Amino acid sequence: MASKVNIWNMALLACGAKTITSVDDAVKGVEILGQWYDTIRDDVLREHPWAFAKTRARLAQTTVPVMTYDYAYTMPSDCVLPLTTNQVASYPYHIHGATLECDYDDTDADEDDEYLYLEYVQRVTDESLFPAAFVRALAFALAANVAPSFGLSANAVVVLEQKAAQALADAKYKDAREDRETTTDAWDSTEDTWVSGRSM
């Protein structure tokens, strides 16, 4: 089970630095890791529709001015990567900042599947939920970004960037493979309803 300390220590070791026992340790580089961590975590989450981070939420219609379509909905505050909506087959959408715009109006919806739902990758802050491959990808991505602060050479930074890219590719592959083998909830656009099924 991963923790923030585990991930930071993996990044520190990759940079040739001393490990820590707490994120509050007064060790060189810990402050830099703290400054970068949330940003890099969200960046890695945006790279792929990770099975452990996918969720869906009903969107609330808002009265903010629209730019492209007729109606606007408030995006979930924890959304880092929007994936699709349950009405996308008939109603394309566009996202402007924290607002999703489309021509679908669910004001008079009576049934649950008549409301507008968004499937998306959420911001996961509980490291214990991270799969091992994601942890490795995140740690190398973090290391590659903080490496210059530890005095690593340009060549060493390039090596870390290559390792980060490979770790991310491996994590994506494993996640996609495991997601295909797991029963998941999916939107069936032909039936206009959420269904559970086994991907083949």
In DSSP terms, 185 is beta-bridged to 196
Please state, in angstroms and rounded to a whole number, the distance separating the CA atoms of residues 84 and 120: 7
pTM, two decimal places: 0.85
pLDDT in tens, the chain (200 residues): 899 999 999 999 999 999 999 998 887 788 999 999 999 999 999 999 999 999 999 999 998 878 889 999 999 999 999 999 999 999 999 999 899 999 999 999 989 989 999 999 999 999 999 999 999 999 999 999 999 999 999 999 999 999 999 999 999 999 999 877 654 454 444 444 444 333 32
**Residue 186 DSSP code:** E
Identify the pLDDT of residue 161: 98
Identify the pLDDT of residue 127: 98
Identify the pLDDT of residue 26: 81
CA distances from 162 to 108, 143, 156, 176 (A): 52, 11, 10, 21
